[in-house]
Amino acid sequence: MQTTQTLEVKSLTLANNQHTRWYRFNSQDEINQATLKSILQTADEAIKKYGSFLIVLAGGSTPKSVYQLLAKENADWANWHVYHNDDRCLPADHVDRNSKMARDAWLNHVAIPANQIHDIPAELGNVEGAKAYAQTLAGVRTFDLVILGLGEDGHTASLFPNQAVDNSADAVPVFNSPKPPAERVTISQSRLDNTHHVIFLVTGAGKQDAVNNWLNGVAIPATLVAPACGVDVYSFGVQF
Residues 82-126: tens digit of each pLDDT: 999 999 999 999 999 999 999 999 999 999 999 999 999 999 999
* Residue 229 placed within a domain: yes
* Residue 125 placed within a domain: yes
Span 63-86, average pLDDT? 98
Give the count of domains, the chain.
1
Looking at the chain, the whole-number percentage of residues with pLDDT higher than 90 is 91
Could you tell me the residue range of the domain that residue 130 belongs to? 17-236
- CATH classification at residue 42: 3.40.50.1360
Indicate the average pLDDT of the chain.
Answer: 94
For the whole model, what pTM was predicted? Answer: 0.95
pLDDT tier at 8 (50, 70, 90 boundaries)? low
* Residue 88 placed within a domain: yes
The whole-number pLDDT of residue 14 equals 74
Is the pLDDT reported for residue 69 higher than 90? Answer: yes
* Residue 226 placed within a domain: yes
Q: Are 78 and 51 in contact (CB under 8 A)?
A: no
Span 145-163, average pLDDT? 97
* Residue 162 placed within a domain: yes
